[in-house]
Amino acid sequence: CGAVRSGAYPRIVYGEPQQICHGDQPIAVVGAGISGLTAAAALKSMGCSVVVLEARNRKGGRVHKIGSDDEVDNRFIGVDTGAQWLYDSIPQPIQDFCNSFGLLTTRPLGHDWSHVSAGSSPVPSFLRSKGDADFEDWANNAQSESCHSRTSVKSALKDLSGTVYDDDRQAMMKHILLRKLVDEGATAGNLSCHTLASPPRFNPATNRIVVGGYTSVIDKLAEGLDIQFNKEITQVYHGAAGVTLSFASGSPQNYAAAIFTVPLGVLKANTVKFLPSLTLSKLRAIHEGARRSVFLAFNNSFWSPQFIGFEVYGDTAEGAGQLIYVTNPSILHNDPRASSAHVLCITGLDPE
């Protein structure tokens, strides 16, 4: 949950059904991505009347597999452009969900993943292993000694230079932290050190993928939900009596409450007007960092069939504190259309 990662709440508090579901009006969940569908499914299981409002003409949000009806280069067909991995971590809610509903997961077909320090040779595997172990030890100490819900990762990092780890191992630990920041789409200054409790382990040898792509999860979550498409919201009036939503087309509608699960980019664009205005803390949270992915299509592959990807982190003055992933999305599921795609994905923190 973003509230926990940012330190806004040290834990999640759920209300009783009778406190959430009240009156004759439904609850609106804005956004039919994985967060919105999960929220709607949970509300429905509690007996609430709920409707999902989606601005696009499809569900899934940023979880999307390019299809023949998408107006893009045919070389991208069959490629997942959003979520791809089931990380080897505890807990793993998506893996549990797949197990519960009979969705198959598997290891990726390839095994070639490397870590590269910009301007030098690949990082030795023994140093990566030490870095993972060192990071976990340091993170556990930071958790027990100096980490509070409002303490940032940046503040916790101040003690790293005084540890017993040598320079190479410290550099690897900082690289692992960069990987976590890219995964979270955040900077060290606005990410709660509570996230250090679960060090990132991007290991293609143990991580899994959803057979057929993440859209299988979306399809299962959406079963039985009332999803209305092409519902672009322009204004939100919220008060004690409920919420009134205005749309780009059509009449305003009243709801008992509204849950917004739209991407940060939508809120940053300020195309939705809130009345009264959102609190200052929420506005600040909206304008925090995000990550961005760019997909590149080639006429032919110049990489090995076993290539999954690599990560590069900056070790120069110009590149310090930066990390990017380069991945081969065509190998991350068993869609035959994607197996012949010559596509690479580059992911890093949004420069904004």
**Each residue of 153-162: pLDDT tens digit?**
777 666 555 5
Rounded CA-CA distance 176/41 in Å is 35
| 3-state SS, residue 43 | helix
Is the pLDDT at 73 greater than 90? The verdict is no
More confident residue, 96 or 13: 96
Of 72-81, 229-238, 249-258, 331-340, the least confident: 331-340
pLDDT at 107: 75
Contacts of 75 (CB under 8 A, 6+ apart): 297, 298, 341, 342, 343
pLDDT at 13: 41
pLDDT band at 14 (very low <50, low <70, confident <90, very high): very low
Burial call 205-217: b when 16+ CB within 10 Å, e when fewer: eebbbbebbbbbb
More confident residue, 229 or 23: 229
pLDDT at 37: 94
More confident residue, 255 or 317: 255
Angle at 68 between CA 265 and CA 290, to 5 degrees: 15
Structure tokens belonging to residue 132? 């993972």
More confident residue, 177 or 71: 71
Ranges of H-type helices in the chain? 2-5, 17-20, 34-45, 93-100, 125-145, 153-157, 167-184, 215-222, 264-268, 280-286, 336-339
Strand partners, 204: none
Cα dihedral across residues 21, 26, 27, 31: positive or negative: positive
Is the pLDDT at 253 greater than 70? The verdict is yes
* Residue owning tokens 């200054």: 189
State the burial class of residue 96 (Cβ atoms within 10 Å of its Cβ: 0-12, 13-18, 19+): exposed
Rounded CA-CA distance 152/144 in Å is 14
More confident residue, 254 or 91: 254
Strand partners, 302: none
For strand 307-313 and strand 27-30, is the pairing parallel, antiparallel, or unpaired? Answer: unpaired
Strand partners, 275: 237
Rounded CA-CA distance 99/119 in Å is 43
More confident residue, 331 or 219: 219
Structure tokens belonging to residue 314? 């900056």
pLDDT at 66: 82
| 3-state SS, residue 63 | coil
Is the pLDDT at 9 greater than 50? The verdict is no
Bond preceding residue 276 cis, omega within 30 of 0 = yes
Amino acid at 178: L
Is the pLDDT at 164 greater than 60? The verdict is no
Q: Report which of 338, 111, 324 is spatially closest to residue 212, judged by C-alpha positions.
A: 338
Angle at 64 between CA 183 and CA 209, to 5 degrees: 60
Of 9-23, 84-98, 306-320, the least confident: 9-23
pLDDT at 141: 62
Mean predicted lDDT score pLDDT of the chain = 75
Q: Residue 291, Cβ neighbours under 10 Å: how many?
A: 16
Q: Report which of 11, 60, 315, 347 is spatially closest to residue 185, judged by C-alpha positions.
A: 347
Cα Rg of the chain (Å, integer): 22
pLDDT at 174: 66
pLDDT band at 319 (very low <50, low <70, confident <90, very high): very low
More confident residue, 64 or 14: 64
